Structure 1
Amino acid sequence: MTVAQMQDLRAKMRDVGGSVRVAKNKLAKIALQGKPCESIADYLTGMTVISYSEDPVAAAKVVDAYAKTNDKLVILGGAMGDSALDPAGVKAVAQLPSREELIAQVVSCIGAPASNIAGAIGAPASNIASILSTIEEKAA
């Protein structure tokens, strides 16, 4: 990848709170020893770029989207906790909703019962008002 492409990838990853690093394979393998995701050391061959973020879905989304537009970026695998992921696993994670999307869904579920109750309480009054209005129109 060119320097401009790497800067573009880094900028996109920064936007979601992640980071991208070019890894020295030997040092990365040493750093992975004894860690829960040590099994991804097998993926560290050739020129390696490691991307990561607080939200594991965000990093997968950015890398998957970028790999679709740049054929020089090939997803070899990844890790989520102590599970090693193959390329299909990384793409599956990229399809999951991000942390922000999940929070929005939970908040909407919490707020929905309250709005339903308010609607149910207000409905009889509006129904009565509409009936009275219809009776008044017929009487006139």
Structure 2
Amino acid sequence: MTTEVRKAIQKKQQIVDEIQDKINRAKLMVVFDFTGIDANSMADFRKYIKRKDAEVKVIKNTILYRACTGTPLYDKIDIFKGPSAVIFAYEDIVEAAKTLKEFIKDKETAKVKAGLLTGEYVTPEEIERLASLPSREELLAQLFATMMAPITNFVRTLNAVPQKAVMVLNAIKEKKEKEE
């Protein structure tokens, strides 16, 4: 083997190692077919999703296949056919799924192939369901509202007692004034 071939193999192995690291760190990894998406749209999508603590990579299928060694995706050979891009979501997995769904909804030929959710295989349908969940902020708002409801009702009840007493005293005062 020549030195150039060794260097090429080492470089490819380094790329595979980097992808494996991303797979291990990501809470959600989604492989999708980006057919029909122009380069400018993909660049805009990359910038947008980066703000969501996620990233998009276009990866050659052979390299992606090697990087998926030891994961449930490794046995799903059909995933590694056609153009493939991968989203690695490191924090808010619902937001990443929603963003991808929104991005490819108008693209007729682009579609989700499969993914990994905390290391477990997920189908395109499951990723679709994940994208339909409320966002983290919406869930926190709902939780806060649920936690505040008993307190709010208690305060209203406490407030009602003196308010009714004042109304009764005011009615008595008005009645006495009319009598005079």
Q: TM-score, normalised by structure 2?
A: 0.67
Correspondence for 2:34: none
The runs of 5 or more residues in structure 2 that have no matched partner are 1-36
* In 2, Cα distance between equivalents of 1:79 and 1:70: 23
Pick which of 90-99 and 35-44 moved more. Answer: 35-44
Q: CA deviation at 1:5?
A: 0.7
Question: What percentage of residue pairs aligned between the two structures are identical?
Answer: 28
How big is each residue's C-alpha offset from its partner over 1:17-74, in whole Å with a ceiling of 9 and x where there is no partner? 2211111212222222224665566422211011131222111101111111233422
The reply to whether residue 46 of structure 1 matches residue 61 of structure 2 is no
The reply to whether residue 17 of structure 1 matches residue 53 of structure 2 is yes
The reply to whether residue 70 of structure 1 matches residue 137 of structure 2 is no
Partner SS state of residue 34, structure 1: coil
The runs of 5 or more residues in structure 1 that have no matched partner are none
Given that 1:40 and 1:78 are in contact with CA atoms closer than 8 Å, whether structure 2 keeps it comes out as: no
Q: 1:7 to 1:137 in 2, by over 3 A?
A: farther
Matches within 5 A, 1:29-40: 29-35=65-71, 38=74
Correspondence for 2:159: 122
Residue type of the partner of 1:49?
Answer: A
Pick which of 84-93 and 130-139 moved more. Answer: 130-139
Higher relative contact order (CA 8 A, sep 6+): 2
> Which structure: larger Rg?
2
Q: CA deviation at 1:129?
A: 1.5
Q: CA deviation at 1:92?
A: 0.8
* In 2, Cα distance between equivalents of 1:56 and 1:13: 11
- Ranges of 4+ aligned residues in structure 1 off by more than 4 Å: 36-42
Q: CA deviation at 1:100?
A: 2.4
Q: How many residues align?
A: 140
Partner SS state of residue 113, structure 2: coil
Q: What is the RMSD computed on CA atoms of the aligned residues?
A: 2.2
Correspondence for 1:94: 131
Q: 1:99 to 1:2 in 2, by over 3 A?
A: same
